[in-house]
Structure 1
C-alpha cells in the first residue's frame, strides 16, 4: 500500500528534479529543501505546490496575465544562483509575491537582512502573513511601488526583481552598493532575459543571462502592442524607441502573399533551444520585435507558421517583415528541424536574409551570450550596440 507523499518528500523530489537539469550552489539547494513552498500557497493542492510550474495567487480581471504569481521553482533556483547572496548581506526584493522567495533569501543571508516590496496591498499582506506563519518574521515587507525601491534600508549588497523590468530605474543605482549585484528579468526587443549585473561605479556589467518569463512590473509602459489584423489574431510587440508603421504591416499581411520562405544552414534537435538567435539579433539590429500569432491565425492560413507562434523574433522595416520559422526535415534524425525565415512585403526577402545571417552567426556559437553594460541614460556608453531607454542605456557586445 503506497503512502501519501509528505510535503518534505515532495519538496525533496522537486529539488532533485531541478538538480538533474542544472547545477545550483549547495546553499541554494539547502534553502530550497528547507523552506516549505506549500505554506506560501494557501488553497493549492500539496502536489501542485511542488511541481515545477508557476502558480497564480491574484488574478488581473480583463488582462491576459495575472497580477501576481509564484514563480517557477527552477527559475527561482536559477536567479538565486545568479544573485549569489551571502551570509550577512542586505538584500532588496522587488515583487513580494507569495513571500516564498524572501524566505529563501533569508536562509541564504543568515544574519543579514531581507526587505521585500510590492505595489499591491493584498499581495504584500499575503507575503507578510505567510512569512510570519513560517518563522520568517525578520523579513521587512513594504507596500510600495517597487520602482522606487526602499531607501530606508539602503544601500543593499544585492537587489533582485521578480517582475519583468523594461527600464532600470535611476533610483535603484542609489540603493545598490558599489560592487553589489542586481539580478532582474530585463525586457528588450520583445524578449525577457534574467540578467546578472555587478555595479562598478557608474556601470552595471553582466556576467550571465538566461531566458525567462515574468509578469511585467506595474508602471513601465515602454513596450507597445499593435494588432496587425481585424480579428486581433496577429500582434506585434515592440519598444517605444522603434518606429513601426503598423498600418502598412497590416496591409501587407492582409494580402496573404508572402515574398518567400528561406532556409538557413542551421538544424536543431527537438529539445534544443534556439532563443539565442533572438538574443544575438538584438545585439546588432534595431529592427527586432516580437511577433505573436494565435492558433486561429495559423489554422486560417493568415500567416505562415512562426517558429514559436506566441513569441517569435521578427525584423520589421516599413511595410515589410521577416520572422523566424522552424521546418521539419528528415535529413538528420539527431537534428530534424531547420531554421529559416518567412518574408512579407517589398523588402521582405532582404529582411529574411538579414535574419538568416543572424541565425548562421548563432549557429557558430550556440551557447554564447553578449556582455551587457548598463549606464544611466545621462552618462556615456560602453563600446557595442546601444539601446536607449528613458532612464538607462543598454550596450550589448559579443
Structure 2
C-alpha cells in the first residue's frame, strides 16, 4: 500500500477526532479506553479504496466484498455499532480476545484495548477478506494481531480459552465452540438474529449456558459457512412485498396472503403508547404466536397498500390466508404516538385482537429499555416452548420481560 500524503493524513486526523467526539456525544462510546482506541487507530488505513467522508461517517458501512449478485458479504461495520459492541465487551488490558468475522479495523481497536500484554486473534472464512485484513493490519502497525483463515463456527482452538469472543456477522445461532472457547468468566458479544430481527447481545457464562447482560439493535451481513441461516424462508407476495419467517410452525402461503392484501383493511387502535420501537419490535417478534416479518418497498408504501412500518420489516401475525401487522398514529393522550394494527383477510378481526392485546401488554407492563432477560440454553428444544422462546440448532433462546 502506498503511504498517504500529508494533506490526506491531516484530513483523516481531523475527521477521526470529529468521529470520536460524535461517538461520545451519541453515547455509542461511553468509556475513556474505547474513545482512546478510536482516536488511536487510523480507520482510513483499513479502507484505502473508500473516501474519507465515507470511512469516518458514524452510521455508514464501508463495502469490502460483494457476491455475484452485488450484495455485500463483507463490510467494515459502522463506527457507532463497533463502539457499542466494544462497550458491551468491556475489554480490559491483558485479555485474550477472539474476533469472528474479520476486516482488520475492529481487531486493531481491540489490540489497543488489550495492550501489549494482551492477545487478539481475528478469523474469517473468506481468504480474500483475511488476506486484506492482514495487509491492512501490517500497514497500520498492528502486526501483533493474529489472523486465521477458518470457518468461525468452529472457533479457533489454538489460543483458547478466550476472555472475550466478539462476533461481527449476524449469527442465527450460537456455536457450541463459542461457549466452550470462553473462560469461566468470559463474555460473548454476538449479533443474534431472533425471528428476523437482530440484537447485539453481550452474554456471560451461566453454568453450561449463557445469560445476556445487555442487548442493542444491530444490523450485520449474515454469517457464512456452517453457521449460515438455512432455516429462514422468504416468500414474495408481489413485486415490492414479501414475508419471511424462520419459525418452522409458520406456513407462508404466498398466493393466499397476497390475495388477503387485496381485501379491505381492518384498522384497530390499541389506546396504548407507541414508544421505544426497538424494544417493542423484539417483544412482538418473540411473543406473536405465528410470527413472520412483512417487508414492503417505498413504491408499495407510497401507493397506500402497506403502512410505512414495513419499510425495514415489521413483525406480522399470519395464518394461511390472513395477516396483521403494527402501525401508529399521532395521539397526544398516549404521549405522542399510539400503536395500532392493520389486518387483512378472512381472519383479520381475530388477528387484530390478538395483536392489539400484545401491544397493550407491552405498553402497560414492559415499556422501558432493557426490560428483556435473554438466556441461551444449549441442547435440544422441548416439543413445546413457552412464549418468548426460540428453538435454534444447538440450543434454545429464552427471553422473559420484566
- TM-score, length of structure 1 as denominator length: 0.90
Deviation at 1:95?
Answer: 0.4
Residues 78-116 of structure 1: CA deviation (Å, up to 9, x unaligned): 00000111111111111002x000000001111111100
Contact 2:73 2:222 in 1 (8 A): no
Contact 1:183 1:196 in 2 (8 A): yes
Report whether the alignment pairs 1:377 with 2:382: no
* Aligned with residue 60 of structure 1, among 60, 67, 76: 67
- Residues 382 and 100 from structure 1, CA distance in 2 versus in 1: closer, same or farther, beyond 3 angstroms? farther
Contact 1:306 1:323 in 2 (8 A): no
Aligned to 1:109: 114
* Aligned with residue 392 of structure 1, among 391, 395, 401: 395
Aligned to 1:194: 200
Which stretches in structure 2 are left out of the alignment for 5+ residues? 1-6
Matches within 5 A, 1:223-234: 223-231=231-239, 233-234=240-241
Contact 1:60 1:67 in 2 (8 A): yes
Aligned to 2:100: 94
- Residues 225 and 334 from structure 1, CA distance in 2 versus in 1: closer, same or farther, beyond 3 angstroms? same
* Aligned with residue 6 of structure 1, among 2, 7, 11: 11
Structure 1 stretches of at least 4 aligned residues deviating more than 4 Å after TM superposition: 333-336, 379-384
Contact 2:210 2:375 in 1 (8 A): yes
Residues 150-190 of structure 1: CA deviation (Å, up to 9, x unaligned): 11111111000000000111222221122210001000111
Matches within 5 A, 1:1-398: 6-22=11-27, 24-52=30-58, 53-62=60-69, 65-97=71-103, 99-110=104-115, 111-219=117-225, 220-231=228-239, 233-247=240-254, 249-253=256-260, 256-268=262-274, 273-301=276-304, 303-327=305-329, 329=330, 331-332=331-332, 336-364=336-364, 365-378=367-380, 385-398=388-401
Distance 1:230 1:304 in 2: 12
Distance 1:386 1:223 in 2: 16
Deviation at 1:379?
Answer: 8.0
Distance 1:137 1:54 in 2: 24
Deviation at 1:280?
Answer: 1.2
Alignment RMSD (CA, Å)? 2.4
Deviation at 1:319?
Answer: 1.8
Q: Secondary structure at the match of 1:6?
A: helix
Distance 1:92 1:162 in 2: 11
Distance 2:170 2:398 in 1: 19
Deviation at 1:309?
Answer: 1.6
Q: Secondary structure at the match of 1:229?
A: strand
Deviation at 1:382?
Answer: 11
Distance 1:51 1:230 in 2: 35
Please identify, of 308-317 and 121-130, the stretch whose mean Cα deviation from structure 2 is larger. Answer: 308-317
Deviation at 1:244?
Answer: 1.4
- Residues 293 and 140 from structure 1, CA distance in 2 versus in 1: closer, same or farther, beyond 3 angstroms? same
Contact 1:162 1:185 in 2 (8 A): yes
Distance 2:387 2:242 in 1: 30
- Residues 29 and 135 from structure 1, CA distance in 2 versus in 1: closer, same or farther, beyond 3 angstroms? same
Q: Secondary structure at the match of 2:16?
A: helix
Distance 1:297 1:47 in 2: 32
Distance 2:362 2:347 in 1: 23
Distance 1:156 1:290 in 2: 36
Distance 2:271 2:66 in 1: 44
- Residues 251 and 47 from structure 1, CA distance in 2 versus in 1: closer, same or farther, beyond 3 angstroms? closer
- TM-score, length of structure 2 as denominator length: 0.89
Q: Secondary structure at the match of 1:147?
A: helix
Residues 278-310 of structure 1: CA deviation (Å, up to 9, x unaligned): 211234334222111112323444x33141423
